[in-house]
Amino acid sequence: MKHLATLSAIVTGCALFANAQAQDTSATLQKIRDTGVISLGIRESSVPFSYYDNQQHTIGYSQDIALRIVDEVKKELKLSKLTVKETPITSQNRIPLVQNGTIDIECGSTTHTRERDNQVAFTNSFFQYGVRLITRKDSGVKDFSDLAGKTVVTTAGTSEDRLLREMNNAKKMNMQLIFAKDHAESFLVLKTGRAAAYVNDEPLLYGARAREQDPQDYVITGTPPMSEAYGCMVRKDDPVFKKLADRVIADMQTSGETARLYTKWFTQPIPPKGFNLDYPLSAENKALFAHPNDQALD
């Protein structure tokens, strides 16, 4: 019996050791170590977060954060070289591409919601904002209630997609909803008069307006029906990789690096055409930078 007890203790100890080892390893980091490649999901038109410049290079506030995480991965794995593979994504396919391993991390303009927590994991948030609408200055639309009976556009697969459907049903607004394939197409629907308003994350609307030849023709308005936050997406069940990304984002925020990035991308002229979003740092983002967290706001 004594021998059995000893054997049982050894087996239990081995199991605990194996479990501890599993908790200290990362399938994502192992994949990156084995291949020498890290796969980033990038956006083509999420100005100023992740978008193409004139040479089809990905630039933006989120992209800068993603590349800082890449640097930390390279350092963590002690790699002399790490190839960055970029995969353009849409609002509709970004979650499946994280889930199936096509991309290792996506830092673009993805809202962290509790529903999405069931599918992927989110890092510390890097931006907080309200949902608003953009319309022509002579449209007469001032708030969401003015959208009743009108045609409204947003990007398919976004949190605004769900918000507008729910608002339309709950408040019997009789909106005609258009769901465009990406943010650039959403604004084009508004610009060409096919919709009275375009609903999206406030900073993306500032980005869309700033790119216009006559930005003063458009107004961003509406009382935000909800506040949201962006985070980077990574695969679920890989807490080690998430912790690495969380640490990078928290260090950037508390050191003042993120505030400097904010100034660069939101309050100064940006490539490729030198337009300025003129979007000052909000109290909500100041609070986020002072107290990094990975909480969904819905």
Q: What percent of the chain has pLDDT over 90?
A: 90
Q: Please, which residues bridge with residue 270 across strands?
A: 275
| Section 230-249 average pLDDT | 98
- pLDDT reported for residue 16: 38
Nearest to 231 by CA among 71, 33, 37, 98: 98
Residues in the chain: 298
Residue 298 has pLDDT above 90, yes or no: no
- With a cut of 90, say whether residue 3 has pLDDT above it: no
Q: What is the pLDDT of residues 100-125, one digit of tens each?
A: 999 999 999 999 999 999 999 999 99
Which tokens is 41 given?
Answer: 């999901």
Give per-residue pLDDT as tens, 39-60: 999 999 999 999 999 999 999 9
Q: Which sign, positive or negative, has the C-alpha torsion 18, 19, 21, 27?
A: positive
**Domains with residue ranges and CATH for the chain:** 26-128+228-290 (3.40.190.10), 130-227 (3.40.190.10)
Beta strand extents in the chain (DSSP E only): 37-42, 45-46, 50-52, 58-59, 83-88, 105-106, 121-136, 151-155, 176-180, 197-201, 218-221, 227-234
Summary mean pLDDT of the chain: 92
